[in-house]
A = this chain, B = another copy of it.
Amino acid sequence: MSKHHESTHSNIHSSEPISKQDYADQLAVMQVELNTLARWVKYYNKRLLIIFEGRDTAGKGGVINAISATLNPRQCRVVALDKPNEIEKGQWYFQRYVPHLPAAGSIVLMDRSWYNRAGVEKVMGYCSADEVQHFLKQTPVFEKLLIDDGILLFKYWLTVDQVEQEHRLFDRLQDPLKRWKLSPVDLLARHRYAEYGQARDEMLQATHAKHAPWTLVNFNDQRLGRLTLIRHLLAQFPDCSVPDEWMDFPPLKGQPAVESFDGPLQPIQPYKLHAR
C-alpha cells in the first residue's frame, strides 16, 4: 500500500463516530429526500438501478434497508438473487439478471449483482479465469447498453477493514438474530481478505467507466457509511421536485364507527406487558 493511500485512509478513519441519535436525525432528513427522489422517478418514468457490492459484512443489507424503509415496496424492489441453478449456469451470464432491471417509474436495489463473477466466484474458484476475463470485457458493454437506453445506474462498493470484518463475523456467530447471515463460505472467505481486495482492484480497473463509475464508501462505521452513501446518491439529483398531487380529504358524514362483529369471532386478548 502506498504512502498516499495510507494517508488517505487514515483521514477517513479520523472521523468521529456518529451517535445513534445523530444518525437517526440525519437519516430522517435523507429519507424525506429519498421520497422526493422516488416521486421524481415515478413522475418522469425514470428507471433507477443501484448496485451494492462490497466485502462480506460490509453493510450492504443495512444501507439497502435504510434506503428502502420508507419507500413504496411496489416501486422500490430489492433484488438478491440466489446462486444460479443448473439451467442458468448454461445461459448467457447476464440472462438471469435482465428480468430484474427496473421498468419505467421504478427503482431496483441490487444486493450483490452480476459482479459476483469478479468477486466471490473468482476468489472461491466457482468459475474459470477465462470466464472472469470474459465478464470483465462484457460488463462495460452491457452496462453501456442499459445506460444509453436511459437506465440511471449507480454502483457502490462498500469497504471495510479486516479487523472490523472479524468483529462482525464473530458477532454473527454469537447473535441469534444474525446467525443466518453466516454461511460456511463466509468463514472460508475471511482467510482470503487480500485476494478479495485484488479481485476488487482488477474489477474496478475494468469496469469503472465514465458512463458507469464506481463509488467507494468506507463502512468501518456503519452509520457513517450509510449517511455518506445516501448523501452521495442524493447529491446526484440536485433538483428532483415534482408537482404535488392534490388529494381532497372532506370530513366524514356522521360519527366515526368503531369495529363491531356480527359473528362469534372477536379480537384476541392483547399482549400483557407485565403479566408474563
Identity of the chain B residue whose Cβ is nearest the Cβ of A251 in the assembled complex: B166
Name which of A9, A78, A182 has the most chain B CB atoms within 10 A of its CB. A9
Instruction: Kindly identify which residue among B12, B47, B170 contacts A249, using a CB–CB cutoff of 8 Å.
Output: B170
Name which of A35, A39, A165, A267 has the most chain B CB atoms within 10 A of its CB. A267
Across-interface contacts of A210 in B (CB, < 8 A): none
Across-interface contacts of A128 in B (CB, < 8 A): none
Contact status of A204 and B138, CB under 8 A, knowing A146-B92, A197-B260:
no
14 contacts across the A-B interface (CB closer than 8 A): A1-B261, A18-B273, A22-B273, A47-B91, A85-B85, A88-B103, A91-B104, A137-B148, A161-B256, A161-B258, A204-B265, A225-B270, A228-B268, A232-B268
Q: Footprint of B on A, CB under 8 Å?
A: 1-2, 5-6, 8-9, 12, 15-16, 18, 22, 26, 31-32, 35-36, 38-39, 45, 47, 70-75, 78, 80, 82, 85-95, 98-99, 101, 103-105, 134, 137-138, 141-142, 144-146, 148-149, 151, 159-163, 165-166, 169-170, 173, 176-182, 184, 187, 190-191, 193-194, 197-198, 201, 204-205, 208, 214-218, 221, 224-225, 227-228, 231-232, 247-249, 252-253, 256-263, 265-271, 273
